[in-house]
Amino acid sequence: MEPKAISIPVGDESVSGLFLRPPDAKALYLFAHGAGAGMTHKAMSGNAEGLAKRGIATLRYNFPYMEKGSKRPDSPKVAHAAVRAAASKAVELAPELALFAGGRSFGGRMTSQAQAGDPLPGVRGLIFLGFPLHPAGKPGIERADHLANVRVPMLFVSGTRDALAELDLLRPVVASLGSYAKIHLVDQADHSFKVVAKSGRTNADAEAEVLDAVARWISG
């Protein structure tokens, strides 16, 4: 199964997207990349293919800075505009599929900020694969302040060794959101869901757990 190349207008410019829809799709995940790697990174591709096997279509897309080959992430205003444009494209591509949005790290946070500011049309829930609660080595919860303004269900998938989301901070943040939010912890996984050898698990095991958790939550 090969993804379909998509062009997504963002203001006066456009960004690239990749739409992957399995024949048995029951939902569509608008899937944004992290700060350091674009939509074609092997982790993004592997996640999209794994979700397709679980009956979930994906629309991956680049943020404008990544499209231009820059290493400096866009300002929130620019990133939010890209999220909104991609959400509109997702509805256009598959209006009959239940729509969820989010992504890995930076992409998930930009999606939640956009949703908190003005709800994304058609989005039923947000899914974060490694929500970057704080910079590594600088614990804090300020990045979560906007989540109180999100009024759709949220799933936080996080590794227990994630240096950007210390558990003693992430757990209470998710709990404070009440019934809107759920957390799934991947044992011994870091921010990229890589596991240490002594855990007795492989990275593939951890990735499968991540995708199973996403598919299960969407089905529920």
pLDDT, one tens digit per residue, over 4-36 is 999 999 999 999 999 999 999 999 999 999 999
Reported as a single tens digit per residue, the pLDDT across 146-195 is 999 999 999 999 999 999 999 999 999 999 999 989 999 999 999 999 99
- Detail the DSSP E strand segments found in the chain: 4-10, 13-20, 27-32, 56-61, 98-104, 123-129, 154-159, 181-186
Architecture of domain 4-219 in CATH? 3-Layer(aba) Sandwich (3.40)
Which 3 state secondary structure label does DSSP give 21?
coil
Answer yes or no: is pLDDT of 111 > 90: yes
Model confidence at 198, in pLDDT bands (50, 70, 90)? confident
Kindly state the tokens that stand for 210: 């991540």
**Residue 113 and residue 83: Cα distance in Å, rounded?**
10
Residue 197 pairs in a beta bridge with none
